Structure 1
Amino acid sequence: MKKLILGLSALSLIAFTSCKENAAKKIEEANVIAAAERDAVASKFPKIEFNETEHDFGEIEKGTPVETTFTYKNVGEAPLVITDIKSSCGCTVPKDWSREPLAPGKSAEFSVKFNGSGANKISKTITVTANTEKGSEIVKITAFVKPEAAE
């Protein structure tokens, strides 16, 4: 019986050690190069730069709609894609932005219309969602809305 257990132990030991290969031998050089290139490209993001990050309409009459255009440029190393632009309230409407990828070095624009609601100093934020490293950028509009004259 002892010989049988000793024989099976020896056979098991040989079987387990013979299957052991050097893992480094299984790595293909082409895969290492492809992974390095993929990682290098993954760290390159588009970067958005605005002509202005805050636009002041100055003093406006209550209920008077005003509009401005924000110009932006892709100063990053990859194509910029703007997926959404939203304002902090329904009185401010962003529009006319391109959903097409913007190549590095190229410029584009979008407009923002404010309906003139509110009173006194107002400030509204517009969130630009894009494939930048941060994921979103913010621009603002401000105005002083003159209250309606009492009759």
Structure 2
Amino acid sequence: MNFRCLWDNTMSRLMLGLLFASLCLFASVTSATVVAATWADSAFPIKTHDFGTVAVAAKTEFLFPVVNNSQSPMHLSSVRASCGCTIPTIQTHYLQPGQTGYIKTEFNTNTFRGKKGATVTVVIDQPSYAEVQLKVDGYIRSDMVFHPGSLDFNKITQGEVHVKSTKVLYAGRSDWQVLDVKTNKPWLLPQVKETVRNGGTINYEISIQVLENAPEGYFQDEVVVVTNDRNKPNVPLRISGQVESLLTLSPQSIALGSLKPGETVKSKLVLIGKQPFQVESMTAEGWEIDFDPTVQAKKMHVLRPELTFTGDQSGPTKVSLVIKTSGQQSVTAKCTIHADIRGE
């Protein structure tokens, strides 16, 4: 009898021990899973996007940023969408600590119509396993087509006007109209012209000019086609391209280190133009700049300006060095001067 009691007590303690160990293991695994999920979730600052109302064949994309805030390399192993209306792509599979990558989502406007949405699941397997879900929505109208679906200017030269156009093909109401084309960029000039009106078949041509004052660099934007539809009047049209300067400057940043007010330092600048040019002036606020004038128009100039700080401030300073070429087709280029000014 005593042996039976002893056996029962021993088994009870053993079962309790196993149960406690299982609970601890479950809690540990659960805690690790929650930590991993929380870390992965914080890597996606944007988790939803609404494409709005878009036309058939419109090129409609959105980039979800991914920021590796951890201290270890991050690997995005795969991505999938719950609906064929959205095509997701991993732009950067490996992200080092502090690096930003992107998940590109493309709305399939060629195949689908009406209100559509998808859940995009991103799978991460390093530094720990996690899944993050993103959400996209939009409405693809079936009565309106852009041809082509976007305007890509590719590489264009700054200081020149560049034009591209697309057609708007509509089938529906006989009183349908494009009222306006709007943009929030002063260097984009849209124009619209009706070309066909035959009952419910209506066509327009929309042309977009990139003006001379377009900033240097890559751009990706939208113009909004405003119609007289009561429910969904605004339809975006994607615009992209890269503006290249007529004048290339190297280096883009001049680090002069520590200086005293009035101290003069020398630097070196290489200027390359698409056409032969001469340098007219070099200016920077708070600095006196002395350089040998160019005596011949060439496509490349190597300058060695002397820079003297004339301000009265102390501490770190950063200003733009503005270089201007001469002639009627004058071009301006800029680089940045960095210095640490020591007080007297």
Calculate the TM-score normalised by the size of structure 1.
Answer: 0.59
| Equivalent position amino acid for 1:145 in 2 | I
CA–CA distance in structure 2, aligned partners of residues 66 and 49 of structure 1: 24
| Equivalent position amino acid for 1:122 in 2 | K
Moved over 6 A (4+): none
Which residue, 60, 70, 74 being the options, matches 1:66?
Answer: 60
Query: Does residue 72 of structure 2 align to residue 75 of structure 1?
Result: no
- Unpaired runs of 5+ residues, structure 2, are 1-31, 144-170, 173-199, 201-344
CA–CA distance in structure 1, aligned partners of residues 134 and 70 of structure 2: 19
Structure with bigger RCO (C-alpha 8 Å, 6+ apart): 1
Show the counterpart of 1:143: 138
| Equivalent position amino acid for 2:137 in 1 | T
| Equivalent position amino acid for 2:58 in 1 | T
| Equivalent position amino acid for 1:69 in 2 | L
Show the counterpart of 2:124: 130
**SS of equivalent residue, structure 1 residue 93:** strand
| Equivalent position amino acid for 1:54 in 2 | T
Provide Cα deviations, 1:41-92, integer angstroms capped at 9, x if missing partner.
xx68563522311111111123433111111101234321100011123332
**SS of equivalent residue, structure 2 residue 104:** strand
Report which of the two has the higher share of helix: 1
CA–CA distance in structure 2, aligned partners of residues 127 and 96 of structure 1: 11
Identical aligned residues as a percent: 24
Q: 1:99 to 1:53 in 2, by over 3 A?
A: same
CA–CA distance in structure 2, aligned partners of residues 119 and 109 of structure 1: 26
Report which of the two has the higher share of strand: 2
The answer to whether the Cα contact below 8 Å between 2:122 and 2:132 also exists between their aligned partners in 1 is yes
CA–CA distance in structure 2, aligned partners of residues 93 and 147 of structure 1: 20
CA–CA distance in structure 2, aligned partners of residues 147 and 121 of structure 1: 11
**SS of equivalent residue, structure 1 residue 131:** strand
The answer to whether the Cα contact below 8 Å between 2:85 and 2:112 also exists between their aligned partners in 1 is no
CA–CA distance in structure 2, aligned partners of residues 60 and 97 of structure 1: 24
Q: 1:110 to 1:140 in 2, by over 3 A?
A: same
CA–CA distance in structure 2, aligned partners of residues 108 and 99 of structure 1: 8
CA–CA distance in structure 1, aligned partners of residues 56 and 138 of structure 2: 11
CA–CA distance in structure 1, aligned partners of residues 54 and 96 of structure 2: 37
Summarize the alignment of residues 2-151 of structure 1 with structure 2, pairs less than 5 Å apart: 47=40, 48-100=42-94, 102-116=95-109, 117-131=111-125, 135-148=130-143, 149-150=171-172
Q: CA RMSD in A?
A: 2.6
CA–CA distance in structure 2, aligned partners of residues 106 and 114 of structure 1: 26
